[in-house]
Amino acid sequence: MVSDRVIAIIGGTGDQGFGLALRWVKARENVIIGSRVRERAEAAVKRLKTILGDQYNVEGLENREAASKANIVVLTVPFNGLFDILKSVGGALRQECILIDVTVPLASTIGGKPTQTIIPWHGSVSKMIAEILPNVKVVSAFKEISAEALQDIQSPIESDTIVCSDDDDAKRVVIKLAEKIPNIRGIDGGGLENSRISEYLTAFLIGVNIRYGVKKAGIRITQLEYNDKV
C-alpha cells in the first residue's frame, strides 16, 4: 500500500540519505530527495529509478523546498555542514513536523579521526537541534546503520537502531518507519538525551569496521519481547 505521508531527505544525494531513500521508496513511502542543488537531487532520483524501476513515487528538489513539503524530514548531512543546513531549511519546516536526525558528529569532519566524536555542549547533536528548532519533534535514529548496508538492497540489515525522542508519538512513528527496512528493529531508546549513546556508538562501530575489515558492523539489543510496548 502506498503511504500518504511525505518524507524529505535533506542531503539525500549522499551515501546515508540515498540508502534510506532506496529502502523507503522500495517500501512504498513517498520520498523527496533534497540537495543544495536541484539538479543533483534530480540526478539522484534518476539513479534511484535505475536501481529500483520507474514505478515508484520519488522526486528531487532543493533542500528547502523539499523540507516545506514533508511531514517527516530526515537530516543526512555531514556535521560540518549542519549549521548552514539548519539555517536554510529551519524556517521552511512545517510546525510539528517530525525531524529525524541521523547526524553523527564525527571528528573526521573537522580533520580528526572517524572513530571519535565531537559532542556538543547539549550532549548530542540531536539534543542541540531540538534546542535550535523548538517547534519540531526531533527524533534521533538510524545513526548506527551503515550506508553500505542500506544501499545493499538485496540484503536484510543485521542491526537494530536506537530511536530516541522527547515526543513519544513521534518516536513511535519512527520505530514503525525503521521496521519498513527489512530486519532493522527500532529500539525505544528513551528521551533525546540518550542520543549521545548512538553518536558514540557509531564512532565505535566505525572502529570495529576498520579492525575487522568489514563495512556493515551493526548492533543488536538482546532479550527483548520486541515492540510489545510500542
Ligand X SMILES: NC(=O)c1ccc[n+]([C@@H]2O[C@H](COP(=O)([O-])OP(=O)(O)OC[C@H]3O[C@@H](n4cnc5c(N)ncnc54)[C@H](OP(=O)(O)O)[C@@H]3O)[C@@H](O)[C@H]2O)c1
For ligand X, the binding residues (CB under 6 A) are 11, 13-17, 35-37, 40, 76-81, 84-85, 102-104, 106, 143, 146-147, 202
State the nearest-atom distance from the C-beta of 77 to ligand X, in Å. Answer: 4
From residue 196, give the alpha-carbon distance in Å to each of 18, 125, 193.
24, 8, 7
Q: How far is CA 213 from the centre of its chain?
A: 24
Rounded alpha-carbon distances, angstroms, from residue 177 to 124, 133, 202, 203? 22, 22, 20, 24
CB of 75 to ligand X, least distance (A): 8
Question: Between vectors from CA 113 to CA 110 and to CA 114, what angle results, nearest 5°?
Answer: 95
Nearer to ligand X, 16 or 30 (CB): 16
Angle at 173 between CA 171 and CA 179, to 5 degrees: 105
C-beta of 20 vs 136, nearer to ligand X: 20
Q: Which is nearer to ligand X, 16 or 165 (CB)?
A: 16
Nearer to ligand X, 96 or 128 (CB): 128
Q: Which position has the grid cell 528513551?
A: 190
Provide, rounded to whole angstroms, the least separation between the CB of residue 99 and ligand X: 14
Give the nearer residue to ligand X in terms of CB position, either 28 or 87.
Answer: 87
Minimum distance from residue 195 beta carbon to ligand X (Å):
12
Least distance in angstroms from the C-beta of 40 to ligand X: 4
Specify whether the CB–CB gap between 64 and 87 falls below 8 A. Answer: no
User: 3-class SS at 23?
Assistant: helix
d(CA 217, CA 202): 10
